[in-house]
Structure 1
């Protein structure tokens, strides 16, 4: 009887967005097995407490380490991560794997203007306008598209960043992820959706991953019931590319895989300097049963086009 079993413990960061992702995993599981008991375990990470430059904490791994450690130590059965925050240059803890990816949500970035702003779109912003963003990838692409803007990095949860935008008046607008805003109930604040041609998303954008201990075969099989196969194909292509580039947390790397209307697997990859002045670009296609091969090919193509020099030229 499921009622006699201990609850499945799902661990995540304590930010509103991370807890929303954990609930999404729980809801997806209970939609398949309604009687399964689930317990949420919030884990406050170093990355959540640190408001400085993430590179000083070892990059995006600062959001991963404590949650992953709780999984390895047996404090939780499933660790939930935003795949865009899972670094490409740090291996997963030994004996763990991603058993499930939820269906991908909106990968696009959006513009959020401060309350009372007379502007609604990026093109309306005059030269010198101050824009805030948390990602070097966004900063590089913003400056590539609009080198006349003043772009600064701003840390914190999405809701805290928007509150700061409205209250302090330091910035005219922020660039944030569309699906992330939806997770915290702030989708209505977006005034413009930026096309992927202007703002190529990060690897793993819009994807929630569920990490498990591979020795827990029962949990692995349970999670495989809710794994989205299309998302897995896309994430495999993107993350293979990311591993091949060996970028660090300050590397502005963008990558997006999708399935075309005629059933081909498409992968676009980009590597930028921090100000967007130099970049390498590759866009290739392959069959949907060859995501790792496509990811490796795009990484090699980017390296041939100078990506290694761009990445190595950016301080860690």
Structure 2
């Protein structure tokens, strides 16, 4: 039954319980990720009733065009956020790297879960098993849908060619295995691990070879900011170090005004009460780049309670169980690093990259 904006069910004992509807993309990986979040919620709140609602997004439907060329923001999130706005779902599970650094008014990220390995992975064609990017033959074709990956790897491995490949993980692996179009493809290690396909990982790319995307490897739960009960309920899912790393990364990207149409990469680490952020910007062919590292001291993670409103969001994230001072310092770190790179000419590199991408 439904009452107001919410959906309820009456148990056999006559008790009425609210159903929490979780929105997600329909891909196998998205459903696995959503199930993992649902399992954590059920473990914490055994009496809760969850209903998973799958849907397709723009990014899932347009498979013949590079992501950077579609010219649409929120490629993998728009339909999910529309459902959230219309109260068709109560929370949405995303890969954090799919979420823009500025969310629509009235929405917030209530939880950022412990990060899986954020690095990129090389998956080789079966005929190339035992090789690496270094040892692949001249002019071998590498598939990737990411300007960020291609820009960094073109400079590091000039003997290779890079071409777009689209589709979900299953589709891209099928294209790799069943044809001879690609010698290898580059995928996020996190997705392969969550799918149980670690055996397909031939090489993990270290930051010196290829830094990762902002938010890569982390799962985020987006809610309506006004639903303070849900926000409080989900707050226990937050992983403190992951929250701080991702706030710094998102602040860096937002201040650069970057997105999927320009190559921007990061690497973060929390060590000995220090948050380290390395960020880089690249031309499309990788011939021009700027990269630097900054750090900030973060206090021991302390719980804090804040009013849930637009003002306490940090790059779209509202985490009421992670120290507010630490979050502020993480956000400032991202902004300061972006300002440093902009002072060295990052804007010119990114503007040229955007124009070149548009002209392709």
Alignment TM-score, normalising by the size of structure 1 = 0.95
Deviations 1:17-51 (A, max 9, x none): 11111112111111211221111000111110101
Partner secondary structure for residue 80 of structure 2: helix
Q: Over aligned residue pairs, what C-alpha RMSD do you find?
A: 1.6
How far apart are residue 120 of structure 1 and its match?
2.4
Partner residue, 1:64 = 77
How far apart are residue 110 of structure 1 and its match?
1.0
C-alpha contact (below 8 Å) 1:82/1:209 kept by paired residues: yes
- Distance across 2 between alignment mates of 1:255 and 1:193: 16
Deviations 1:113-163 (A, max 9, x none): 112325421111122111111111000111011112101111111121011
Partner residue, 1:176 = 187
C-alpha contact (below 8 Å) 2:68/2:147 kept by paired residues: no
Partner secondary structure for residue 63 of structure 1: coil
Bigger radius of gyration, 1 or 2?
2
How far apart are residue 169 of structure 1 and its match?
1.0
Partner secondary structure for residue 197 of structure 1: coil
Gaps of 5+ in 2: 1-9, 299-325
Partner residue, 1:94 = 105
After TM superposition, the structure 1 = structure 2 runs for residues 222-301 of structure 1, keeping only pairs within 5 Å, are 222-260=233-271, 262-288=272-298, 289=326, 290-301=329-340
How far apart are residue 215 of structure 1 and its match?
1.1
Greater Cα offset, 114-123 or 142-151:
114-123
Taking structure 1 as reference, are residues 59 and 139 closer, same or farther at Cα in structure 2, changes over 3 Å only?
Answer: farther
Partner residue, 1:7 = 19
Partner secondary structure for residue 245 of structure 2: helix
Deviations 1:43-95 (A, max 9, x none): 1111101011224433451111111111111111001111111233xx31211
Partner secondary structure for residue 99 of structure 1: strand
Taking structure 1 as reference, are residues 301 and 55 closer, same or farther at Cα in structure 2, changes over 3 Å only?
Answer: same
C-alpha contact (below 8 Å) 1:120/1:192 kept by paired residues: no
Partner residue, 1:54 = 67
2:56 matched to 1:38?
no
How far apart are residue 248 of structure 1 and its match?
3.4
Alignment TM-score, normalising by the size of structure 2 = 0.84
2:139 matched to 1:128?
yes
C-alpha contact (below 8 Å) 2:142/2:161 kept by paired residues: yes
- How many pairs were matched up? 313
**Aligned partner (choices 189, 202, 205) of residue 194 of structure 1:** 205
After TM superposition, the structure 1 = structure 2 runs for residues 146-165 of structure 1, keeping only pairs within 5 Å, are 146-165=157-176
